[in-house]
Amino acid sequence: MRRYSSLILLCWVMVLGISNDTVVMIHPSSQLSLFGSSNINKFQCDCTDEFPRSTLKFNRGKNGTSATFSNAILNIRAGALDCGNKIMNKDLYKTLKGDEYPEIQIELLQVKQLNESKPGAWSNQLVEAALTIAGVRKTIELSVRAQQTDPDRFRFVSDKNILMTEFGLIPPKALMGTIKVNDLIRIHMDMIVGVERGM
C-alpha cells in the first residue's frame, strides 16, 4: 500500500505533549496531494514515496505550546508525484526541473499551538516551514487542524496554496499552447501519525 509523508506533519505531534526525542510513523491511509487546474480541467497528483519511521528532536518553548526544530528536513522525490497519467507525470517532472533538482525539500522551523488540545477534540496549529522547489527556498506558514484520535495516534489536516511562479517554475502548456495549466497549486495533507513513546 502506498504511504504518504510530510516532515511538517510528522513533527506536529511534538507540540501535543510528546517527548523531545520521539519515533513517529505515517499510517498508510494518510494523503499528501497536489491539486491544480488548467483552462479545460482539474487534476490531482498524489505523493507515492514511502518513508521509514523517523526519530525527531526539538526544543519546546517555555510555555509548552510551541517548539522549534533544527535540521528537521524531508526530501520528496519529484518523480514520486503521480497524476494518474504518464504524460501529465512527465510534464510535472519537467516543470519541477526534476533532472536538475530531483527532490522537493521541506524543513520544519517552528510549530505553535493556538488553542488548548484535548483528546478527541480538534485543535489549531500554526506551522512555519521552509519549502524548497527547484532550488528556490521560501518560508511558508500552514494553518493546521490537529486531533488526537487515541493516546498514540494523531490526525493532521491542512491545505496550502502556492504559486508555481514564486519558485521560478513556468506552468506547463500542451497542444501548441491551447491547454494552459494555471499558476495556483493547492497542497493538501491529511496525515495519520503514530508515535512510539519513551524512545
Give pLDDT, residue 18. 52
pLDDT above 90 coverage of the chain, percent: 38
CB atoms < 10 A from the CB of 79, how many? Answer: 17
Mean pLDDT of the chain: 80
Lowest mean pLDDT among 29-33, 88-92, 114-118, 156-160: 114-118
Q: Which residue has the higher pLDDT, 103 or 67?
A: 103
pLDDT in tens, 1-60: 333 333 444 444 444 455 555 666 777 788 889 999 999 999 999 999 876 555 555 566
pLDDT class of 199 with cuts at 50, 70, 90: very low
| Section 126-151 average pLDDT | 90
Percent of the chain whose predicted confidence (pLDDT) is above 70: 73
Grid cell at residue 178: 491551447
Segments making up each domain of the chain, as ranges? 7-196
Q: What is the pLDDT of residue 151?
A: 77
In angstroms, rounded to a whole number, what is the distance separating the alpha carbons of residues 166 and 3?
28
Residue 34, burial from CB neighbour count under 10 angstroms (0-12, 13-18, 19+): middle
Rg (CA), the chain: 17
Strand partners, 127: 111, 142
Dump pLDDT digits (tens) for 74-108: 778 899 999 999 999 999 999 999 999 999 988 87
The DSSP symbol for 20 reads S
Q: Which long-range contacts (CB under 8 A, 24 or more apart) does 59-68 make?
A: 59/20, 60/14, 60/15, 60/20, 65/15, 65/112, 65/113, 66/15, 66/110, 66/111, 66/112, 66/113, 67/11, 67/14, 67/15, 67/110, 67/111, 68/109, 68/110
CATH architecture of 7-196: Beta Barrel (2.40)
Q: What is the pLDDT of residue 66?
A: 66
- Per-residue model confidence (pLDDT) at position 115: 73
- Give the whole-angstrom CA distance, residue 40 versus residue 21: 48
What is the CA angle 21-23-29, rounded to 5? 145
Residue with cell 498524489: 46
**What is the Cα–Cα distance from 176 to 198, expressed in whole angstroms?**
58
Q: What is the C-alpha separation between 109 and 79, in angstroms, rounded?
A: 25
Burial 144-167 (b: 16+ CB within 10 A, else e): bebbbeeeeebbbbbebebebeeb
The band of 181, judged by pLDDT with boundaries at 50, 70 and 90, is: very high
Structure confidence at residue 102 (pLDDT) = 95
